[in-house]
Amino acid sequence: MYTNNTSFPISDWSAQVKKPNRVKRVFRRLTSCLIFLVLGQTLVAQLTGIKTIPGDYPNFIAAVAALNLQGVGPGGVIFDIDSNRIETGVKVVLSIPNNPPAADRPLVFRKKGTGNNPRFEGATGVSTASDGIIVLNGLDYVTFDGIDLSDTRFGNNNVTTRMEWGFAFLKKSSTDGCHHNTIKNCNISLHQSHPGSHCIYVANHTVSNTTPLVLTSFDGTNSYNHFYNNTLENCFTGYHIVGYQSPSPFDLYDIGNEIGVDGQSTHRSSVTKFGSSSNSGNGRGVWTLYQNNLKVSHTYINNSGGLPLGGDITGIYIGEANNANIDVFNDTITIFLYSSIISNTLTVNSGVLGTGNTINVHHNLVTGCQGNILIGYAISGGASYLNIHHNELSNNTNGRAYGIRANGSNGLPEEIKMYDNVVFNNSTAGFGYTGYSHLFEVNGNTKKTSVYNNLAYNNVFNTSGGLFGCTVTV
């Protein structure tokens, strides 16, 4: 019988017994790492569903930081912000580089409750030209509904520390602009005395550089953005919407931007107390350039009650947009001038070239204007078809007046129609500036001109150059 009397040192025996424990420790560590990785992924998961401020996030700035880090998930995300809430020191850029909003995952900030809109007050600015309270950096499908912005801090008289923009739509690059965004039911108030203040600012440049971009694709435009039922005040310009100066065939203009109402709210869009006391340029309620299929409607524009003005002022100015379709309708404009300057209440100057495009200006009201020179409706440019109808110019007091003018000589339009417009109860009493006045004027140079059913009555003009009721040049 064989007997193995070999013995092991106690230390070796202990090592053998401890091996299973060591394996368990390694397993636990691996499990912990895996759990950490899973939790880490959860921490940066895309945002979805309904979030609350305060609640899920302590404030708006924290919500923006989370969005810029995590992005928007399937189905989109809605941030409900308590009514009557006021946040200060707001100056944010929404970039969302990963998982940005899209048609199937929109991003919405909206008022919660029945009180006053939540209000975000601007932070201290650091620039004289590019500080914005909320800036969208090349984003699509973002909505702000019932969110107010202000930069009306008492004693903030420094141009550098003031905000230039309330909402701003800017571009990541020449191929990445802002599309399908909506600002509605918002009240925005800045500093009227700041000549760089624009309540809503849409422009062809990046966040870091205001040099205009040269576009290479339609994706680089700012298009199909909607601005509904907003109240803008205390600014140099209410709406500043400027696209890319596209060369022929003009296919890189912004397309489909709209100012007006959404058909759901009874609140009208408005721009009040605009312009500046400095001589830095024309204050404008609405100013657009390089836009196609643009609509400006149902907007009340009135600069009275603001600062004494130091330059010319325009209610609505639709600038160069060759071969573009434009609709301006159901707007009301009142311009009060404080010095010897010119009031252009509604101007559409679309450019010199047009093939098959149409400009429609109808059912607008210019009333209660006072000042030296009033240009009521001035529609010119190269549209193939100019339609000017059912507009009213009434109860204005000016030294010299141009009532409703249509000038198609730049582009040789196919047809100008001016009909069913009315000019009444206007006078020049109390103003020393004199000169000729026109009630209706058409400078056609067109293939076809139609002027009919226009009415003028009870107008008193003390003009040295004469009064012209209706002038048509073809």
| 0.85 exceeded by pTM | yes
Cβ pair 202, 237 in contact under 8 A: no
pLDDT of residue 25: 55
Task: Provide the CA 311 distance to its chain's centre, in angstroms.
Answer: 23
pLDDT reported for residue 34: 43
Between CA 194 and CA 445 the distance in angstroms is: 42
Of the chain, the end-to-end C-alpha distance in Å amounts to 134
Contact 335/300 with Cβ under 8 angstroms? no
pLDDT mean by block of 10 residues, the chain; 474 residues: 45 46 52 43 77 98 98 98 97 97 98 96 90 97 98 76 95 98 97 89 97 97 98 95 95 97 88 76 87 96 73 85 92 77 71 79 92 78 86 86 75 82 83 65 80 91 66 70
pLDDT at 10: 42
Q: Quick one: pLDDT at residue 431?
A: 57
Tokens of 377: 């409706």
For residue 149, how many C-alpha atoms fall within 13 Å in the half-sphere facing its CB? 33
Q: Chain centroid to CA 312: how far?
A: 22
| Backbone φ/ψ region at 104: left (φ over 0), alpha (ψ -120 to 50), beta | alpha
Residues 333 and 302: beta-carbon distance below 8 Å: yes
Count Cβ atoms within 10 A of the Cβ of residue 114 and give its class: 0-12 exposed, 13-18 middle, 19 or more buried: exposed
Please check whether residue 209 is in contact with residue 243, taking contact to mean a CB–CB distance below 8 angstroms.
Answer: no
Q: Which of 446, 468, 447, 355 lies closest to 401, judged by CA?
A: 468
- 3-state secondary structure (DSSP) of residue 17: helix
Is residue 132 within 8 Å of 163, Cβ to Cβ? yes
Write down the pLDDT at residue 13: 40
Distance of alpha carbon 94 from the chain centroid:
16
The pLDDT, as a whole number, for residue 277 is 61
pLDDT at residue 84, rounded to an integer: 97
Which residues lie across from 400 on neighbouring strands?
373
Scored b (16 or more CB within 10 A) or e, 250-285 reads: bebbbbbbbbbbbeeeebbbbbbbbbbbeeeebbbb
Question: What are the tokens at 98?
Answer: 């990963």
